[in-house]
């Protein structure tokens, strides 16, 4: 289905559902396609018979049928789980798990009038408060007990070893496509697997654009399809990296990443060495840029992200990183 035809179909299907589910009588509507990397996201604005303007987000899940169904199931379950533990996410209006109406699974949520943490960090007057919100919210996620997780929706590894081994095996599958430098790094990861971390519930994609914060500094988590049972250190390290990168793009922002990780540590004790973490991740990126990899950018991004995630686990467990 072509883009315009798909957009029209999405609008027709979602308007009908909203009228049925919310008992609305819609007079006008406007559908806007938003930026999205792995899925299609839309903002639907409607005007009802009372003159009220209501907004909803529509997310259409891409990938193979099995992959798309897996993503919407994870996001739906993660939303329920977080809300049960007092963590805000945009309310779900409807979820089509099988993709019967559009040929792809999709979800309709209430639109939240909030800005991404990335945009708010550009405002010097509230940076510290935004970082505190980011740290506190991440701690709330990590303190959800594993006993609260339904294994029908999230796979629970038997141990940290099993979880990390799966990460390395994924990297090893790419071995034939990578430079010798990268192959050496993968072998080193296999020989230096840490076991000191504990299993927990990380967000899996705790980026600055996946945390929305309103005018009262209330956070709302979005893009929950990467939720998994893994290690807290990977979540903290990933957020630390993105904040550190963001530091270089805004004026008078030095120290934001260290402030964030300090706030996290104050609320949830964690062994870390922030400067070493930052240095190691950037060294890894330098290694990647020099390797001259010729494989597709998407595969390259996945490879680097998983490798960085694994290295963060190594750092947090105080295993020496001699290869870098």
What region does 46 belong to: left with phi over 0, alpha with psi -120 to 50, or beta? beta
Residue 233 neighbours by CB distance under 10 Å: 27
* Nearest CA among 223, 265, 217, 212 for reference residue 240: 265
Same domain for 182 and 297, yes or no, is: yes
* Domain termination site, one of 54, 88, 110: 110
State the pLDDT at residue 245.
Answer: 77
Domain extent, residue 96, equals 3-110
Same domain for 189 and 293, yes or no, is: yes
* Domain termination site, one of 95, 110, 125: 110
* Domain termination site, one of 90, 110, 130: 110
Per-10-residue mean pLDDT, the chain, length 324? 80 92 91 84 92 94 91 96 96 94 94 94 92 95 92 86 76 65 67 66 88 96 90 77 78 77 80 45 51 41 50 48 37
State the pLDDT at residue 148.
Answer: 93
Global pTM exceeds 0.75: yes
Residue whose tokens read 């289905």: 1
State the pLDDT at residue 240.
Answer: 78
User: What is the H or E stretch that residue 221 is in?
Assistant: strand 219-221
Same domain for 160 and 183, yes or no, is: yes
Same domain for 79 and 147, yes or no, is: no
What region does 147 belong to: left with phi over 0, alpha with psi -120 to 50, or beta? alpha
Same domain for 78 and 105, yes or no, is: yes
- Give CA–CA dist 123/125, Å, rounded: 6
Same domain for 99 and 119, yes or no, is: no
Domain membership flag for residue 321: no
Domain membership flag for residue 199: yes
Per-residue b/e over 164-181, b at no fewer than 16 CB within 10 Å? beebbeebeebeeebbee
């Amino acid at each position: 289905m072509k883009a315009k035809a798909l957009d029209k179909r999405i609008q027709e299907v979602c308007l009908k559902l909203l009228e049925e589910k919310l008992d609305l009588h819609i007079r006008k509507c406007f559908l806007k396609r938003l930026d999205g990397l792995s899925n299609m996201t839309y903002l639907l604005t409607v005007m009802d018979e009372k003159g009220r303007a209501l907004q909803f987000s529509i997310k259409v899940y891409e990938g193979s049928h099995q992959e798309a169904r897996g993503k919407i199931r994870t996001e739906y379950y993660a939303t329920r789980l977080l809300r049960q533990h007092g963590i805000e996410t945009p309310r779900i209006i409807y979820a089509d798990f099988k993709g019967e109406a559009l040929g792809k699974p999709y979800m309709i949520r209430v639109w939240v009038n909030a800005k991404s943490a990335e945009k708010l960090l550009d405002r010097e007057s509230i940076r510290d408060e935004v970082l505190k919100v980011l740290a506190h919210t991440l701690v709330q996620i990590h303190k959800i007990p594993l006993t609260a997780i339904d294994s029908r929706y999230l796979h629970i590894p038997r141990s940290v070893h099993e979880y990390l081994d799966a990460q390395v095996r994924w990297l090893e599958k790419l071995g034939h496509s990578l430079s010798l430098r990268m192959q050496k790094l993968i072998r080193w990861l296999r020989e230096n697997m840490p076991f000191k971390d504990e299993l927990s519930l990380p967000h899996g994609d705790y980026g600055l654009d996946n945390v929305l914060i309103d005018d009262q500094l209330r956070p709302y988590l979005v893009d929950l399809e990467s939720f998994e049972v893994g290690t807290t250190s990977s979540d903290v390290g990933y957020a630390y990296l993105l904040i550190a990168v963001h530091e270089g793009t805004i004026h008078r922002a030095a120290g934001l990443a260290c402030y964030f990780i300090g706030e996290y540590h104050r609320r949830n004790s964690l062994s870390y060495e922030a400067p070493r973490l930052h240095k190691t991740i950037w060294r890894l990126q330098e290694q990647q840029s020099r390797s001259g990899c010729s494989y597709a950018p998407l595969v390259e991004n996945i490879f680097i992200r998983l490798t960085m995630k694994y290295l963060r686990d190594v750092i947090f467990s105080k295993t020496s990183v001699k290869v870098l």
